[in-house]
Amino acid sequence: MELKSTNISFTNMVSVDERLIYKPHPQDSQKTILTQEAIVTVKGVSLSSYLEGLMTKAMEWVIHKLNAEIKELTASARGSIRTPMAAAAFVEK
């Protein structure tokens, strides 16, 4: 599946075209591979390199936050799977 988006505000100054591609993991059918691409274009301003850098930093910040959330969710999911299994191991016979 492929998703494309473009910002609708400030398009006369900055354009952000984003593309997300979701593919099944080749070895694990329970997983999905996400590829994200963003093209930032600054139009008609003398501060274009500054604004492009600012937008790039903002995108990197968002990606960092998403990666941190993914790690947290993964750890939480692993913990919830292990907890019942660990409890079952200590049940008296």
Handedness of CA 83, 89, 90, 93 (dihedral sign): positive
Residue pLDDT, tens place only, 68-90: 998 888 888 777 766 555 555 55
Phi, psi dihedral angles at 33 (to 5 degrees) = -100, 125
At 83, the amino acid letter reads: T
Query: Which is more confidently placed, 49 or 26?
Result: 26
Please, which residues have CB within 8 angstroms of residue 62's CB and are 6 or more apart in sequence?
none
The total number of residues shown for the chain amounts to: 93
User: Is residue 18 within 8 Å of 38, Cβ to Cβ?
Assistant: yes
Domain of residue 48, residue span: 2-89
Domains contained in the chain, number: 1
**pTM, to two decimals:** 0.48
User: Is residue 22 within 8 Å of 34, Cβ to Cβ?
Assistant: yes
